[in-house]
Amino acid sequence: MASRPESPYDFERVLRRHALELPPLDIGTLQLNITKRCNQACRHCHVDASPARTEMLSDRAIEACLEVLARHAHIHTVDITGGAPELHPQFRMLVERATALGKHVIVRHNLTVQIDGDPATHTAMDDFPAFFAAQRVEVVSSLPYYQAFFTDTQRGSGVFAKSIEALRRLNAVGYGQDGSGLILNLVYNPVGPYLPAAQASLEADYKRSLFENFGIRFNRLYTITNMPINRFRLHLEKSGQYATYMDKLLAAFNPAAAAAVMCRNLISVDHDGHLYDCDFNQQLGMKILTPSGQAASIFDFDYPQLLARRIRFAEHCLGCTAGAGSSCGGATV
């Protein structure tokens, strides 16, 4: 039988070439992707989220997540994402109970859902800044650039103006303000197949421009590399840029960024309760497998077994290891 030709972007081979092994270090963060529904349908979205998606984390799975969090004190952070997680009917209950467990709760909030409301039910969602402040959650919000052109190109017409309004509302309840303790971090990601600018210099640009033009304050800017999967990969392939982008990621491989990949410190949970090494693997269906070959799930969460697992890598992992690195918390080196 003819063997399959080796991919030039084989991540495991890149690791071997650099004599790198990347075993899990701990599980400090449980990242919950609670719905793929979103009021937006961004061109780069690795989740392929949109108003038409229906996936929701079940009540039973939410209870299992909370039970795992209660049982494991060293899982200190709950990172709630989607889709737009606010569109999950149990979102507020989940946040309140995770907070009550003493966990640091991060909500990946797309800003515009405050203004748009629920695309299906048209329920208003303008009270989220007050809710977030009351729960003292950390808010992490995408804003691909500090000007409208790049932002609207990627996230849809009018998104920049709505995002600015939503940021003003978050500032008004204390988010991003000195001394409030309410953390508002923004996320930059490139509008095309290129690497992010240096995080510190771009953060300074964002802070200056957003304050001078709109009076907006925030805490940190996270630069995140676009992952060559799903909707963004389709765009790359259609425009004939996939190989060029992958070559760029491969050429920019940074061993220090590889050592700092986020999958070594977190577990991602999908709407069915299955477990993954990260949200990108989740979107590709690359489930964590138990030693017996079964898909690992939140219903039989086994911390020691998960810590002993072998992380599943693939071509897209080059996105997290290029240049200054990329993670849900921005650059890693």
Partner 1 sequence: MSSYYESDDLKKFAEIGRHAKPLADEFFKYYGMVTGQDGALSKREKALIALAIAHAEKCPYCIDAYTTACLEAGASSEQMMEAVHVAAAMKAGITLAHAIQMNNHLDKLIL
Q: Which of residues 131 and 150 has its CB atom nearest to partner 1 in the complex?
A: 150
- DSSP class of residue 235 equals H
| Interacting span for partner 1 (CB under 8 A) from 91-99, 107-115, 129-137, 147-155 | 147-155
Q: Is 171 helix (H, G, I), strand (E, B) or coil?
A: helix
x/- binding map, residues 127-146, to partner 1, per CB under 8 A?
------------------x-
Q: Which of residues 243 and 307 has its CB atom nearest to partner 1 in the complex?
A: 243
Q: Give CA–CA dist 248/230, Å, rounded.
A: 19
Q: Which of residues 207 and 309 has its CB atom nearest to partner 1 in the complex?
A: 207
x/- binding map, residues 174-213, to partner 1, per CB under 8 A?
----------------xxx-xxxxx--xx--x--------
Write the burial class of residue 304 (CB in 10 Å: 0-12 exposed, 13-18 middle, 19+ buried).
exposed
The answer to whether residue 98 forms part of the interface with partner 1 (CB under 8 A) is no
Q: What's the token pair of residue 196?
A: 């992010």
Q: Which of residues 223 and 282 has its CB atom nearest to partner 1 in the complex?
A: 223
What are the residue ranges of helices labelled H in the chain?
11-17, 59-71, 91-100, 113-116, 128-135, 148-155, 159-172, 199-214, 230-238, 242-251, 255-259, 279-283, 303-307
Neighbours of 16 (CB within 10 A): 11
Give the CA angle between residues 160, 161, 165 to the nearest 5°: 115
Q: How far apart are CB 209 and partner 1 at their closest, in Å?
A: 9
DSSP 124-166: --TTHHHHHHHHTPEEEEE-S-SSHHHHHHHH-TTHHHHHHHH
Is residue 42 within 8 A of residue 144, CB to CB? The reply is no
Q: Which of residues 160 and 276 has its CB atom nearest to partner 1 in the complex?
A: 160
Q: Which of residues 32-51 bind partner 1 (CB under 8 A)?
A: none
Q: How far apart are CB 163 and partner 1 at their closest, in Å?
A: 17
The answer to whether residue 325 forms part of the interface with partner 1 (CB under 8 A) is no
Q: How far apart are CB 194 and partner 1 at their closest, in Å?
A: 5
Q: How far apart are CB 192 and partner 1 at their closest, in Å?
A: 7
Q: What's the token pair of residue 136?
A: 């003292």
Q: What's the token pair of residue 205?
A: 């640009």
* Total interface residues for partner 1 by CB under 8 A: 16
The answer to whether residue 124 forms part of the interface with partner 1 (CB under 8 A) is no
Binding residue for partner 1 (CB under 8 A) from 147, 213, 239, 294? 147
Closest CA to 140 of 197, 210, 84, 200: 84
Q: Is the dihedral of CA 170, 171, 176, 177 positive or negative?
A: negative
Q: How far apart are CB 56 and partner 1 at their closest, in Å?
A: 37
Is residue 232 within 8 A of residue 205, CB to CB? The reply is no
Q: Which of residues 203 and 277 has its CB atom nearest to partner 1 in the complex?
A: 203
Q: What's the token pair of residue 150?
A: 């790049």
Q: Which of residues 240 and 293 has its CB atom nearest to partner 1 in the complex?
A: 240
Q: How far apart are CB 206 and partner 1 at their closest, in Å?
A: 9
Q: How far apart are CB 236 and partner 1 at their closest, in Å?
A: 14
Q: How far apart are CB 280 and partner 1 at their closest, in Å?
A: 21
Q: How far apart are CB 41 and partner 1 at their closest, in Å?
A: 23
Residues 6+ apart with CB under 8 A from 141: 108, 109, 110, 111, 163, 166, 167, 184, 185, 186, 187
Q: Which of residues 77 and 209 has its CB atom nearest to partner 1 in the complex?
A: 209
Q: Which residues bind partner 1 (CB under 8 A)?
A: 145, 147, 149-150, 190-192, 194-198, 201-202, 205, 247
